Structure formats: C-alpha cells, structure tokens
Structure 1
C-alpha cells in the first residue's frame, strides 16, 4: 500500500507534504545546501534557491507485508525460467552511468528552497560554543511549569490518576459498600432459610441505598493539572567583530573578511534572540563603529592590532560584565602587525581578553593563488603559541571566496562540551 497525502493548501501547494519531504530527506538536502553555498555570494544565500539531490533520496515510504512468500508470474517472458540468475544491467541503476546515446537516464531531483528553508538548513548544526551563563534580570519571554492541581480546568488537563486516588480515598473513608460484598450476599440467598433470607434482603437493600448515596466518582474528586508561567532566563551573548582595514589589506582580502562577517551576522541574528554585536575596525588606531560603517566605509593606515584589543577590553569592562555575558570574538586580518606591537598584543590577549572570552576565532586572509611556502605571519605565530598553551582560540586561513563557507561552518559547528576546537 502506498499512501500519499494530496490535499492542497491555498495556492495549489501541499505544504504538509513539502515539510514531510524536507524532514525525511534532511541529511541529503543539508549536504546539497552546503555544496551549493560554497559557490554563492552572501546575498544569494539569503535568497534561497534551487538545490538538487540524488533521485534515490526521493523515494516515498511504502507499507509492505513482513511475512510470507509471494510468487509472481509475469506473462510474455520466454528468455528466463524459474531459478535463473538475472545479470546486472550494464548502465543506469546498479551499473555504470550511461553515456550520451546509450539509453535513457534520470537526472538528479531538483527543487527550490525558500529563503527561510535554505537558512534553516544551512544554520541547523551551527551554534555558539559553551553558551552557558544566564542572567535572570533580563527576561524576554515566560515559560510554563507544573504547579500542582486545581479543582477546575480544561478537560485536556484532567489528571486521571489523581482523580481516581481521591475517589478511592473518599469511598474508603465513607465505607461505601463494595460490589463483591453485595454479590456474595445475593449468592447466599439461594441456600439460606427463610429467616436468614429476610435479614439478607434487608441488608442488601440498605447496602444498595448507601451505594447510591456515595457515588463511585464525585465532582469533588476531580482534579486538573495546573500550570503557571514563570520567568525563563535567556542566554546573553556578545560577539566582538574585529577587522583589520589597514593599508596592507588589499581589496580582495577585505572582501573575504567582509563576507565572513556578513555570514556571521546572519548566523547570530537568526539563531539567537538576545545577542549583541559590537563592530570594531582598526588600522594603527581602532574605533567602535556601526554596521554600515563596518561593512562599507573605506579606511587605510598602519597596523596596530593592540588598538582593537584595547577598545574591546574597554567595551567589556564598561558594558558587558563577564559574570553575566557569554563573550565571543571573531578577528580577521592579513597577519601583519608592527614588530613593536607584538608584546602588547600578547599581553592584552593573555591577561585581559582570553580570560573573559569563551571563544576567540581568528581568520587570516591572503591573496588568491599566493605562494604556498610563505612563512607564517606575525599574528599567526603568536596565536599558534597561545593555542598550544590551551587558550580558547581557533585559527583558520582563507584565500578564496569558495573557502569562506567551509571555514565558517568548521569554526561554529555544534560540538560536545568536552570537545576542543582544533587550531
């Protein structure tokens, strides 16, 4: 038996069937989304679009008999008899792919995902690591919890176990006659004498009258499960976006950094309701800017990484107390830094930034097609040493647009609590 729900929603679209298909083929669709996103720009990701999955992932579930043997007699077959082994087909299903001109073949199954569906699938297995701290004073919504029982409520909240327990206790306290007692006395009527019979009839009548006065379940026994709203704490997090916009950053490098931050911005604003985002850009001096300035306004100058870390430390000290906030940072740079600034940068990271930061992601951008045997940059060498000392820091390198999505997914994929992020 093959069951398909073909009831249509407004607009001639079976939404329930579509959602059921997305749930059933979720693994295949997620893999297709990841492969498709590597070839897209950020603005294209936000618009959804067409993806394709193998045809074998579109099979509908079927109900089949699990027992017994079924024999088929197919007419018109003169080539095979019972017991013959059928050869494997030379192409198509079960064989090598068919070449052009060899026969019919089926393409991959293609369909269009909406913007919401595409983003849900792309961000499904991403999260901020170790999002643990809570602050009860800033509550955005209320939760529901059990709060005992009440004598009134919705039939859907009727507590059968509590009602039966109270009814049983009431019947025992009032000594309601048991049905077995009356049945035993009625059976005795058949063998007793006339004098005993009259006594039994009177006693049975009295027990039945008492049974009617004491019902099996009384309205006073009925109890409903009671619920009450309680403040539900919301995890608070702040993400610091630090970007190098100095003269050593070419337009290609800045484009890679901005794409990474745009993807991070979409991820944070969509997955978390209460996440603050602080944008800091720096040359030889740093400043906190708004989103428009961070992504679009040009800048140039020397490079002092410590200036951005000092601004971040000041913002944390004045606005985001580490006891109440989950603090994260994502930094992008070409790795260049003034030689005299390395010691200050290391001191700020070691003593001020990393002790209060739950996760620090560093993305180093470089020119596409550059030499492979280039020595490590000053920042990369410094951060690699901090990683070796156990700092909550993760490092990745990118040189091409196609690497942004895999690197972003690798940095923020869901991990078990005890799992460390490899540098």
Structure 2
C-alpha cells in the first residue's frame, strides 16, 4: 500500500497567487487609487509602494441562497389591513426598516474601507500599464531591449484562468494508477479465487464470506481515490524575455527660467520623473539626454536636471538648437529612434516663438519619432503654445498638452504615451 506525504515547506510567497488574483479582480479601483497617489506624492518618493484603500461595498462577495419560488400562502401575524387575494404594494425607497449595515452612521459606527499595501514593483506595474514609446521603428536591432511575454512550460502554482486541463488530467491519471494499481491487481486475484471457490462444491462458507468482505474493503479503498486532487493541477507558466528591437534616445527639455515658480518646476519634475521611471522600467539601454534652459541652454546630468536651481529670462529656441546639434553629432536619424519631451510655462520672447516653430518644422520634426510638449500654467496661452498647436495640426508626430494642476500630470502622461492600436 502506497502512502504519499507532502513534506514541502511553506514558502514566504504562498499567498502570492491569491494576492495577484485580488489585484486583477479589483484592478479598476486599485489603478484609480494609484493615479490619485501620484498627485499626492513628492518628487523623492514617487516610486515607492502605496497603501490602497478600497470601499467595502466594492469587495463584497456574491452569495447564493435558496429563493422563495412557487406559489405560497402565508398568514402574517398582526394583519388587520389585507384580505385574501389583495396585492401588497412594494415599500417606498428608504422606507424599509431593514438592519443592513451602512458605511457610516450618525452614531459614528460603520464599516471601514479595506486597506492593503502594494509593493514598489506592483505600484510601478500598475502605473505604466499599457504605455509605450509611439512610432518606434526597428531600424537597428542591437541596442534597445523590450520585454515580451512567452509560454514557459508548466508550473504547480497559478491562477484558475491558467489551468492546463490536459496536463492536469494526465497528472490525475498517473496518480490514480499509482495509488490503486496494486489494489486492483489484488482485487482481481481475490475475485478469481472467490469465483473458483463458489464453483467448487463443498467449499467453506466462512472462507467465501471472508473473501467477499476483503473484496468489499478493497473496492471501497479504490473508490476513495479522488478523481482529481490539488496536487494534480498544472498551470500554464508565462515568463518575460528580452527582445532586441531598436536604438532609441529621449531628449528631455525643461524651462528653468525665472517665470517658472517653484510649484511649476515641481510639477515639471514630477512629469519627468514619471517619464524617467517609465523609460528605465520598460526599456533597457535606452539613452536619455537632459537639457535645461533659460536664455541659454546646456546639457546636464540627471541629478542637476531634477534638482538644480536657476533663474533668468526665457529663450526656448536655445534648447531646440542644442538638441539639434547633439542629435546630428551623436544620434543620426538613420540609426536611432529619436524622442523629445519639453516642459515649459509657455513664457517666451514673442519674437523667439516663430523661431522655435521654424526649428521644429525644418530640423527636428523630420527626424524625431515623437515630440511631446506640455505647458504648465493657469494663465492664458501665449505665442509658444499657438505656434506648437499650429504644428500639431499639420504634423502627426507632435503632441501638445496642458497641465493646470498636479492632478493633471498622470492623465496627461498616459495620454502622451498610451499604447497605439495596431
């Protein structure tokens, strides 16, 4: 008789499957909470985990119970208004005296929202879901690496949606054969012996009864072997692998002039940090060039771009000219996918805005895959916005968006880099 004992130790991630199932089930509420969290966070903690709060009404589980079907006749105690055959009107909304539990009450009692913590990786995964670099072309397959999901065999753990029925049944069949084959062989021998005794005159009745009891006991043991067990379940396993796709460079241009107050600069930093996290998480070996400008533009490193303080006037064309020079020297358009993201409050010398349009139209837009411009201001749009908006009408690789407050950053970011329909 074979006995199977499971001596596997419980791993720390034993609830991972249930956790992922919960996140998938309530993804809409969680993504909304993640979106709200982006606007509340400071620049330094934008990539940390998050506490997610879900209203209890959204996580209530459906229940099945026996309904009151068929024709029923009841005598309700205390009835002094209705006679047999009368129709009872439905109570008006809110007029019932039920004892249901609400989310709040005048006495201060009620049900709290369900709160749980998501990790940094889960937070970023939800933050950048369904985003990509637009118009990416495979012009040189040796630099940029994307991650592609592929089938990677089978695993013993997973979600119900990934169950492989054939593999699970095959495992079930092997287990049932292993657990019952010796019993079935013994049962066959006992039945043959019983048949021989029954056909032989003068056989001992006690021996026949004992054989029948032994046969019944074996048949009961065989019947107890379950058709399928949790150990039999096999799930399709999925993994991610690197897929070389192309070379790409992202130019980040930010206005740091005196017209950009601290609140405006902070919103611009949040946008660029979102962009930086998205690029470094989604693409490997993608190069980023940082350019800051006031009346003059200069290329800086990542730390200086996000945290350095500068003041002065505004000449936006200086940043566009520097971008064009760097692009010609280091990133030829025949070998690189070129992207640019520019943030400004829209303030610029009036006679410089037409120059910006000319540089974009003649030098940059013909070589870039995508140029995104965000204007962070509560004032009326000025000449720079109007020049860029005019280019948007005639070119499909430039996008212009407006941010008024911190709550607009994440929706605008998703709009700029949403995955395009194939």
Q: Which band: TM-score by shorter chain?
A: 0.5 to 0.7
1:49 lines up with 2:53 in the alignment = no
> Which residue in 1 is equivalent to 2:265?
254
Equivalents in 1 of 2:360, 2:146: separation in Å?
Answer: 36
Q: What is the deviation of 1:312?
A: 0.8
> Which residue in 2 is equivalent to 1:397?
402
Q: Which moved more, 1:234-243 or 1:339-348?
A: 339-348
Give the SS at the match of 1:280.
Answer: strand
1:264 lines up with 2:275 in the alignment = yes
Superposed CA offset, 1:251-293 (max 9, x none) = 2222221121111111111111132111011122211111011
Q: CA 1:63/1:332 → structure 2, altered by over 3 Å: closer, same or farther?
A: same
1:333 lines up with 2:334 in the alignment = no
CA contact (8 A) 2:139 2:246 kept: yes
Equivalents in 1 of 2:416, 2:264: separation in Å?
Answer: 19
The runs of 5 or more residues in structure 1 that have no matched partner are 1-6, 146-229, 418-423
Q: What is the deviation of 1:32?
A: 2.4
> Which residue in 2 is equivalent to 1:15?
16
Equivalents in 2 of 1:23, 1:78: separation in Å?
Answer: 49
Note the 1:20-419 alignment, pairs <5 A: 20-59=21-60, 100-101=105-106, 105-138=110-143, 232-366=243-377, 374-417=379-422
CA contact (8 A) 2:131 2:414 kept: yes
Equivalents in 2 of 1:324, 1:23: separation in Å?
Answer: 39
Q: What is the deviation of 1:319?
A: 1.7
Equivalents in 2 of 1:64, 1:237: separation in Å?
Answer: 58
Tell me the matched-pair count: 320
What's the TM-score, normalizing by structure 2?
Answer: 0.64
Q: What is the deviation of 1:386?
A: 0.9
Q: CA 1:135/1:346 → structure 2, altered by over 3 Å: closer, same or farther?
A: same
CA contact (8 A) 1:89 1:95 kept: no
The runs of 5 or more residues in structure 2 that have no matched partner are 1-7, 151-240
Give the SS at the match of 2:319.
Answer: helix
Q: What is the deviation of 1:326?
A: 1.9
Give the SS at the match of 1:362.
Answer: strand
Equivalents in 1 of 2:369, 2:146: separation in Å?
Answer: 25
Give the SS at the match of 1:38.
Answer: helix
CA contact (8 A) 1:133 1:324 kept: no
Q: CA 1:291/1:13 → structure 2, altered by over 3 Å: closer, same or farther?
A: same
Q: What is the deviation of 1:332?
A: 0.9
Superposed CA offset, 1:61-92 (max 9, x none) = 88999xx9989x9xxx97999x9898577689
CA RMSD of aligned residues (A): 4.2
Q: What is the deviation of 1:408?
A: 1.7
Q: CA 1:338/1:388 → structure 2, altered by over 3 Å: closer, same or farther?
A: same
CA contact (8 A) 2:43 2:269 kept: no
Q: What is the deviation of 1:56?
A: 4.6
What's the TM-score, normalizing by structure 1?
Answer: 0.64
